[in-house]
Structure 1
Amino acid sequence: MTGWRLRDFHPDDLDGILALWEEIKASGTEPVYGLSEVLASCEKDDAVVAVVGEKVVGAVVGRAAHAQGWIVFLATLEEWQSQGIGSALLMALEAKMAPHGLSKLSALMPDTESRVDAFLSRGFEVKQNLRYFERHIPVQREELRLLGELGGRVLPRDLWDNVGGMAAEKELLERRLVMPLAKSQLAEQFGVAPPRAVVLFGPPGTGKTTFAKAIASRLEWSFVEVFPSRLAADPRGLAGALRETFLKISELEHAVVFIDEVEEIAAHRSGEPPSPMQGVTNELLKIIPAFRDQPDRLLICATNFIRALDSAFLRHGRFDYVIPIGLPDAAARRSIWERYIPASTRGAVDLDQLVESSSGFSPADIEYAARRASQNALEDAVYTAGGASIQSGPSTADYVAAISSTRTTVSAEVAAEFLEDIDTLARL
């Protein structure tokens, strides 16, 4: 008599699986698959247990993916090891999974695991020179439906790296926002409260929206942009729609919420009788404290006209930082130009001249000038030159001509006011 027998898993065995899991953890070995994955596979995939009486002393769990099978979990209580239970479990699992039509059955083991005799005795081979890669998906399937209702999305992971230049702004946002949120436990250890709400301010076209998206990309959090103009058409009114939107947002696990041109709904409250927008401002002022109580989310409000914001809106306790986003410096302009000059002509273009000529340009201005130069050069090559001698792309002269005909978004007066606002309103 072996003292043990094998049978199919049933839900009453969950406690036994948990006991096996805890014994593995107590031995200092970190299982490849998480406990939640193992328990889920027990119930929906294939599992076999070894029992003495009704006590679970061993278990094996498998998962099929087309013709490939994976061993998700294999364990035997220490007192019952060296009795052939592991090999018997693997044999029983292979038979149970046979209807899947598997051509291969594989297992991943921690490099600290030394008890591999069961695998070797069942004909498993140790594969050399293999690496195990793992990535946690930041937004789960259950969230995607809600995210779709909100008009939100999961942004590509490379947006942060693709922000050209703006090194000073990127470093500030990385240190103040991204790092404390991405490493919240370490931040708590140092007594740092991760930010919950910030304001980005600066002249039009300086990249505030781009930075908001890049922060969401960097954190790998859902990005939800709230459009007051769209909410205004809601039958509940703008204030009611705003409240309902933030209630839905509270159901997301992680989120960066972005409100552009926030001065439209948070302007100075004044006048008798109160304007309809004052009720919207009041509602937003109530929403922000409730939003701040929820972990793993960040509200980013952007404005071109920070002086228009209600004084109560900007006070301490609502926003952790009020961060200026200004015109790109020479290094940033160079990086932006490099993004738009085609590779075929890049070496022939005098980049230094473009950087100098575009002083005072916003990123949007540079993009416009670059695209205009490309379009003009293409038209000239096709229609003026008649295709007889088509150059490889826009020349320095094409870009300089486009720069000279581009009206800058930010006037000298607006730029001067922005510098004053940094002194009086910025909070870094």
Structure 2
Amino acid sequence: MAQWRIRDFHPDDVDGILHLWEELRSTEVEPVYGLAEVLASCEKDHAVVAVRDDVVIGAAVGRAAHAQGWIVFLSTSVAWQRRGIGGAMLAALEKRMAPLGLSKLSVLLPDAQLRTDAFAAQGFEAKQNLRYFERRIPVQRKELGPLAQLGGRVLPRGLWEAIGGMGEEKDLLERRLVMPLAQPDLADRFGVVPPSAVVLFGPPGTGKTTFARAIASRLEWSFVEVFPSRLAADPAGLAGALRQTFTRIADLEHAVVFIDEVEEIAVQRGGEPPSAMQGVTNELLKIIPTFRDQPNRLLVCATNFIRALDTAFLRHGRFDYVIPIGLPDAVARESIWRRYIPQQAAAGVDAAQLVARTDGFSPADIEYAARTASQRALEEALSTADRSPDEAEGPSHAHYLAAIAATRATVSPEVAAEFLEDIDRIARV
């Protein structure tokens, strides 16, 4: 749990901005923008602050001019530097300015300002011999309308890095998908054709959706999730709505398109009389080759039941890879646990034992157990009459063990064994 948080600027934060301003000047760095400009942008444009116990310890201020955004002030209190606060504030500010449809974010820095790591970490690049940084906004203004109609969005940066453990899966996806798509010119030099469509398969709750979202975040492409259940209500019917959806996706410059539980619309064909879903499967099989002809696109289909998919659906030429996503290993389980254990309670928790006790748990199972332990600890703290809830340190190791014991693993040994068989028979990596 972070010791600080980021929120929008409030008028009461002016004194905190003044303190940061004076602290910055005391280091012999004269800000590019005057104090009056910074304060005016705080009130009229866009600003976020980092706070600890309601004390302002950092601020980021931006303004927009046509299609370009400018960072007019970024400062973190000296005592709180080198903790990632500057980068987090820049990311939060960019998120708040995203609806403006900016094509780039830029910043001018005084020559005396030596520390630029926060800008570099957020993808800003130095230009020529000037201390000038700018960051290209991957999704252009003209795409925002079609993206909104599709129910798509631009995901926050950092989702890829946030996936703990799962090293083999991340390395495979990085090499097979992300690298060729992110560096198409380099891939072309080696004769590598960037992938256009992949299937992720594995037991329920193993993180297939998380990986699809993380790939879009890593590439900084628009993310569009197609929900067959919603399309089924369209007057054009499921097959027609599916075709219309992919036609609109063609208006996007870059896109990761995600279909979860794809077995719903790509079932095995056959039988007499033919099922109503066979027409939908046929339509999807027609859509994929057209989709593959469009550059800067990636279709990610996920399924818990790879055996239920139509055999023609998985053949070479439609999907570049069929990649298994299994249960988290020990390293991944530890990373997941540490994500949910509050910082103030961590010292009293034996994470290694939790990892050992949750062998065979999916990420979703671990999250459920962790949240159950926190909820029970909170209820106990509120119901204890002899002390204030503020004195409680959070969930204990015993709370986590009890929650694990009460959590039924989503993936049975039989399902896990079938998954290993599917890897041998179906996986294509």
When normalised by structure 2's length, the TM-score is: 0.69
Name the amino acid aligned to 2:174.
E
Residue by residue over 1:339-375, the C-alpha shift from the partner in whole angstroms, topping out at 9 and shown as x without a partner, is: 0000111122100110001111000000000000001
User: For residue 279 of structure 1, what is the amino acid of its counterpart?
Assistant: G
Match of 2:222 in 1: 222
Correspondence list, 1:13-32, <5 A: none
| 1:222-268 residue CA offsets vs partner (Å, 9 max, x unmatched) | 00000000000000100000000000001100000000000000010
Given residue 398 of structure 2, which amino acid in structure 1 is its aligned partner? A
Runs (4+) of structure 1 exceeding 2 A deviation are: 384-391
Residue in 1 that maps onto 2:84: none
Q: CA deviation at 1:164?
A: 1.7
3-state DSSP class of the match of 1:298?
strand
Aligned partners of 1:414 and 1:332: how far apart in 2? Answer: 20
Once residues 287 and 388 of structure 1 are traced to their aligned partners in structure 2, the CA distance between those partners, rounded to angstroms, is 61
The one-character-per-residue Cα deviations of 1:286-310 (angstroms, maximum 9, x if unpaired) are 0000000000010000000000000
Task: Report the AA paired with residue 349 of structure 1.
Answer: V
Give the counterpart letter for 1:402 in structure 2.
A
Q: Deviation at 1:167? A: 1.0
Classify the secondary structure of the residue corresponding to 1:387.
coil
Q: Give the Cα separation in 2 of the matches to 1:362 and 1:297.
A: 29
**Aligned residue in 1 for 2:325:** 325
Are 2:409 and 1:412 equivalent residues in the alignment?
Answer: no
Measure, in 1, the Cα distance between the counterparts of 2:307 and 2:374: 38
Cα distance change, pair 320–65 in 1 and its aligned pair in 2 (3 A):
closer
**Gap regions ≥5 residues in structure 1:** 1-63, 71-107, 109-128
| Aligned counterpart, 1:360 | 360
User: Which residue number in structure 2 is paired with residue 91 of structure 1?
Assistant: none
Give the CA deviation at 1:169: 0.6
Give the residue type in structure 2 aligned to 1:189: R
Q: Which residue of 2 aligns with 1:395?
A: 396
Match of 1:145 in 2: 145
Q: Residue 387 of structure 1: CA displacement?
A: 3.1
Structure 1 range deviating more: 342-351 or 130-139: 130-139
What is the alpha-carbon distance in structure 2 between the residues aligned to residue 321 and residue 409 of structure 1?
26
Query: How far does residue 165 in structure 1 lie from its aligned partner after superposition?
Result: 1.3
CA distance in 1, matches of 2:346, 2:301: 37
- Give the aligned residue type for 2:404: I
Matched residue count: 307
Q: 1:424 maps to what in 2?
A: 425
Kindly provide the amino acid, as one letter, of the partner of residue 336 in structure 1. Answer: I
How far, CA to CA, are the matches of 1:245 and 1:255 in structure 2? 13
Could you say which residue in structure 2 is the equivalent of 1:9? none
Shift of 1:388: 5.2
* Pairs within 5 Å for 1:45-60: none
Describe the SS at the equivalent of 2:284: helix
1:269-280 correspondence runs (5 A): 269-280=269-280
Q: State the Cα distance separating 1:282 from its structure 2 match.
A: 0.1
Q: CA deviation at 1:65?
A: 5.3
Q: What does 1:22-421 align with in structure 2 at a 5 Å threshold?
A: 131-384=131-384, 386-387=386-387, 390-421=391-422
CA distance in 1, matches of 2:192, 2:356: 41
Where 1:134 maps in the other structure, the secondary structure is strand
Task: Tell me the distance in 2 between the aligned counterparts of 1:365 and 1:130.
Answer: 51
Distance 1:397 1:380 in 2: 13
Tell me which residue corresponds to 1:36: none
Please provide the CA RMSD for this pair.
2.0
**Aligned partner letter, 1:154:** V
| Counterparts of 1:188 and 1:224, CA distance in 2 | 27
State how far apart, in whole Å, the 2-side matches of 1:374 and 1:235 are.
45
SS in 2 for 1:258: strand
CA–CA distance in structure 2, aligned partners of residues 375 and 142 of structure 1? 45
Which letter does structure 1 place at the counterpart of 2:316? H
1:105 aligns to what? Answer: none
Compared with structure 1, are the counterparts of its residues 182 and 65 closer, same or farther at alpha carbon in structure 2 (3 Å cutoff)?
closer
The residue identity in structure 2 corresponding to 1:207 is: G
1:411–1:65: structure 2 CA closer, same or farther, 3 Å change rule?
A: closer
Once residues 314 and 385 of structure 2 are traced to their aligned partners in structure 1, the CA distance between those partners, rounded to angstroms, is 57
Give the SS at the match of 1:312. Answer: helix
Q: What CA deviation, in whole Å up to 9, does each residue of 1:127-179 have, x standing for no partner?
A: xx961101111001110010000000000011111112111111110000000
Mapped to 2, the partners of 1:334 and 1:130 lie a distance apart of 44
Shift of 1:384: 3.8
Name the larger-Rg structure.
1
Partners in 2 of 1:386 and 1:320 — Cα distance? 63
Say which SS state the counterpart of residue 311 (structure 2) adopts: coil
Residues 174/385 of structure 1: CA separation in 2 closer, same or farther (3 Å cut): farther
Amino acid at match of 1:362: S
Per-residue deviation, 1:270: 1.4
- Amino acid paired to 1:353: Q
Identity of counterpart residues, as a percentage? 76
1:216 positional shift? 0.2
The amino acid of 1:267's aligned partner reads: V
Provide the C-alpha distance between the structure 2 equivalents of 1:148 and 1:177, rounded to a whole number of angstroms: 26
Query: Distance in 1 between the 2:345 and 2:332 partners?
Result: 20
CA distance in 2 between counterparts of 1:162 and 1:236 reads 40
What is the CA–CA distance in structure 2 between the aligned matches of 1:205 and 1:281, rounded to whole Å?
Answer: 25
SS in 1 for 2:135: coil
SS at match of 1:204: coil
SS in structure 2 of the partner of residue 135 of structure 1: strand
Equivalent position amino acid for 1:131 in 2: R
